Every structure is written in structure tokens, then in C-alpha cells.
Amino acid sequence: MSRLALTRDKIYKTIARQMHGAVPCWVCGEHVLQAAATLEHIQPLSEGGNSHQENLAISHEVCNGQRHALGAVPLADDAPGQVARRSPRRA
């Protein structure tokens, strides 16, 4: 297992403990299963970010890819420094 995979698993398990099993995606806010979890750089490496634990978050692979395709993360108007999350789906 790669060092990055070990870091992802460690961060996932830490968040799962803190959130009582519910690990939210950093981009959309929906629960992420451990098998579908990817590491997201909060401040992209291309913008001077690093791979230290405080700059990493868990996200879905699809959300991570969409964020990179858009080139930016929409910021929340009411919470500076936070990501604007999609509204929760209703069944």
C-alpha cells in the first residue's frame, strides 16, 4: 500500500471516529464510503498548497474530479473559507 493510501485511510478513520461513522465529502457534504474515498488538497498544489495533513480532506472521486475540471471551488457566501455545498437531496 502506498504512503498516500495509508494517509487517506488514517484521515478517513480519524474523521469517522470524530463524526461517529459519518464521513462527509469535503466538496458535496454527502457521506463517503471508505472504498470510494480520495484525498483532496484544500489548497491545490498548483496554487502553493502542500500535502501536509492540515491541507488534506476526504472527498468522493467524482467530486474531486469535478472540482479539478472546474478549476476552482465555489466558496460559501455566509461562511468565508468554507466550501459552498450542494443542497441535500430529498427522497
Domains and CATH numbers, the chain: 3-70 (1.10.30.50)
The tens place of each residue's pLDDT in the chain, 91 residues long, gives: 667 677 888 888 888 888 888 888 888 888 998 888 888 888 888 888 888 888 888 888 888 887 665 555 555 555 444 555 555 444 4
The secondary structure of residue 74, as a DSSP letter, is P
DSSP-based three-state secondary structure for 17: helix
pLDDT of residue 81: 46
54: cell is 492540515
Contact, 8 vs 37, CB < 8 A?
Answer: yes
Give the span between the Cα atoms of 28 and 65, in whole angstroms: 12
